[in-house]
Amino acid sequence: MRITVLGCGYVGLVTGTCLAEIGHSVVCTDNDESKIDILNQGALPIYEPHLQELVARNVAAGRLSFTADLAEAIRVGDVIFICIGTPPLQNGEADISGIDGAARLIAREARSSKLVVEKSTVPVQSGRKLTRALDIYGRNSRWSFSVASNPEFLREGSAVLDFLHPDRIVVGVSDRSSELLLREIYRPIQQQELRNCPVHEGDCPRKNPPELLVTSINSAELIKHACNSFLALKISYANLIADICESMGADVEEVTRGMGLDPRIGPAFLNAGLGFGGFCLPKDIQAFIRLGEKVGVDVSLLKDAELINKRRIDSFLAKATQALWTLKDKHIGVLGLAFKPSTDDIRFAPAMELITRLLDEHAHVSVYDPQAMEKTRTLFPSIHYCADPYELADGAEALMIATEWPEFKSLDWARLSRLMQRPLVFDGRNLLDRNEMERLGFEYYGVGVLSTAEAEARCAAVPLSPGSR
Ligand code: UGA
């Protein structure tokens, strides 16, 4: 199948490359020529595990190419995947102007009939508007356009795995031929006919084939927003439990483990910490809230989840202020900048808000992240960027873990302790083992459990009742 991918961001690049990997002939395009230049030089404008190798392999095989010529790219594909960003507008609604622009371009430049597939996350009923735009702008054309919705469920950091081994494939269509085309496109994935899977080096674990769910276009669009909002709700719920645990002397890790063993709840997305960031959950829950408000549905449940998330940095910094007395002039090392591990993406990353707030308090901020330093430098040019965690610890009065990179776990924490002015760690992701950290002499604060220092302070504050001795 000849496929065009519009948009070379995270979703477009992974989608285009993986579609080439399963045998299709794919051309990817973007209106940002610099991205195409980078790709044509054999590099990637983003970091995503396995993607580099996969791009190189498919370009070499002649199945994947990149062009800045939008018109030419549109003419090539029988199927066009729209993978254009839908960033939040000032009021939180999704900005769908990129999709509208794509519709006009497709209608103008097409020289054959096309199936136009929305992969971008869009508000429900966008498919209807896309169909209308294609009809209006293509009214003088001889070609016909069908529209489908095929939401992506790609997690950054494991997007290639998620594409090649999905839990489900959702296709929202309004006619049988679109369904058949999409079934044909995804057949190698549905039947797990991967020749040389880059994630498992050809030896993929046995897994039930993913269900290909066919729905209406509206339902497919809604599935995506409903999923991301539910994941956000789940995280905020875990954080609410964490706050109760801290107040009542329980441990959120134990509580969520106990919850997750119930198959109706499940263990995933119950990690308490600094909350959810990235370019999906925060913007999608906001867009879903605006959508609900527009149609008069009570969305207070979603608003509360968003509010809980916004307050995570407040409670984290309150704890730090308590332990450090004041943040002013303190040397603080932030360990982790990306919104989650295995990505260089810092969009809506909790670490960005954390750094802003530390600077507002006049702390001296140093940072380290295995992948996200360059991107952060553009936002905070004047903070100190360290070559490794040991440089970060050197002279620091506290380290704050904002991203749970697995390699932070295996650092030589005894050495870090020796390098620090004060062995104090605020673990915003509950990455480290409290007992081990305390054994190494750290004053250690996690999330959703009182530190030993906090527990002792609380005991001292409770007057003993007469006769209790
Ligand atoms: C999310 C969804 O998980 C994907 O299914 C979806 O396709 C994607 O958005 C999208 O819409 O494109 P992603 O943004 O890559 O994927 O990241 P997640 O793995 O969902 O993590 C989001 C945030 O939640 C991160 O900041 C992470 O640290 C935080 N999180 C996650 C927690 O705080 N606790 C958890 O238990 C899990």
Burial tier of 359 (Cβ tally within 10 Å: 0-12, 13-18, 19+): middle
pLDDT tens-digit readout, 359-396:
999 999 999 999 999 999 999 999 999 999 999 999 99
Per DSSP, the three-state class of 4 is: strand
Q: How far is CA 137 from CA 81, 84, 198, in A?
A: 18, 19, 41
What is the band of 195 on the pLDDT scale with cuts at 50, 70, 90?
confident
Q: How far apart are CA 273 and CA 429, in angstroms?
A: 5
Whether residue 269 has its Cβ less than 6 Å from ligand 1:
yes
What is the band of 303 on the pLDDT scale with cuts at 50, 70, 90?
very high
Q: Which of 71-75, 140-144, 259-263 is the least confident region?
A: 140-144
Q: How far apart are CA 80 and CA 74, in angstroms?
A: 7
**In this structure, which residue's CA is closest to atom 6 in ligand 1?**
153
Say yes or no to pLDDT of 408 above 60. Answer: yes
Q: Specify the higher pLDDT residue, 413 or 457.
A: 413
- 3-state SS string over 14-75? HHHHHHHHCCCEEEEECCCHHHHHHHHCCCCCCCCCCHHHHHHHHHHCCCEEEECCHHHHHH
Q: Which helix (H) or strand (E) holds 147?
A: strand 145-149
Phi, psi (rounded to 5 degrees) for 337? -120, -35
Task: List the one residue out of 242, 314, 291, 295 whose CA is nearest residue 271.
Answer: 242
Per DSSP, the three-state class of 281 is: helix
Specify the ligand 1 atom closest to the Cα of 155.
15
pLDDT on residue 193: 79
pLDDT on residue 455: 77
Helix, strand, coil in percent for the chain, rounding step 5? 45, 15, 40
424-427/398-401 β-pairing? parallel
Q: How far apart are CA 463 and CA 413, in angstroms?
A: 37
Q: How far apart are CA 116 and CA 54, in angstroms?
A: 25
Q: Tokens 């950054």 appear where?
A: 156
Q: Which of 152-166, 194-208, 268-282 is the least confident region?
A: 194-208
Contacts of 382 (CB under 8 A, 6+ apart): none
**The amino acid at 141:** S
282 Cα to the center of ligand 1, angstroms: 9
Residue 96: DSSP 8-state: -
Contacts of 456 (CB under 8 A, 6+ apart): none
Q: How many CB atoms lie within 10 A of CB 452?
A: 13
Q: What is the mean pLDDT of the chain?
A: 95
pLDDT on residue 205: 82
Residue spans of alpha helices (H) in 152-216: 159-164, 176-190
Task: List the one residue out of 230, 249, 196 whose CA is nearest residue 50.
Answer: 196
What is the band of 203 on the pLDDT scale with cuts at 50, 70, 90?
confident
pLDDT tens-digit readout, 438-466:
999 999 999 999 877 777 777 777 665 55
Specify the ligand 1 atom closest to the Cα of 339.
26
pLDDT on residue 127: 96
Whether residue 431 has its Cβ less than 6 Å from ligand 1:
no
Q: Specify the higher pLDDT residue, 347 or 141.
A: 347
pLDDT (average), residues 225-239: 98
Say yes or no to pLDDT of 327 above 70. Answer: yes
Whether residue 155 has its Cβ less than 6 Å from ligand 1:
yes
The answer to whether 272 and 242 are in contact (CB under 8 A) is yes
420 Cα to the center of ligand 1, angstroms: 32
Q: Tokens 């959508």 appear where?
A: 291
pLDDT on residue 468: 47
Q: Is 245 a catalytic residue?
A: no
281 Cα to the center of ligand 1, angstroms: 6
155 Cα to the center of ligand 1, angstroms: 6
Q: How far apart are CA 460 and CA 462, in angstroms?
A: 6
Per DSSP, the three-state class of 300 is: helix
291 Cα to the center of ligand 1, angstroms: 21
The answer to whether 88 and 287 are in contact (CB under 8 A) is yes
pLDDT tens-digit readout, 105-155:
999 999 999 999 999 999 999 999 999 999 999 998 899 999 999 999 999
Whether residue 231 has its Cβ less than 6 Å from ligand 1:
yes
The residue from 83, 197, 280, 386 that is catalytic is 280
Phi, psi (rounded to 5 degrees) for 266? 80, 150
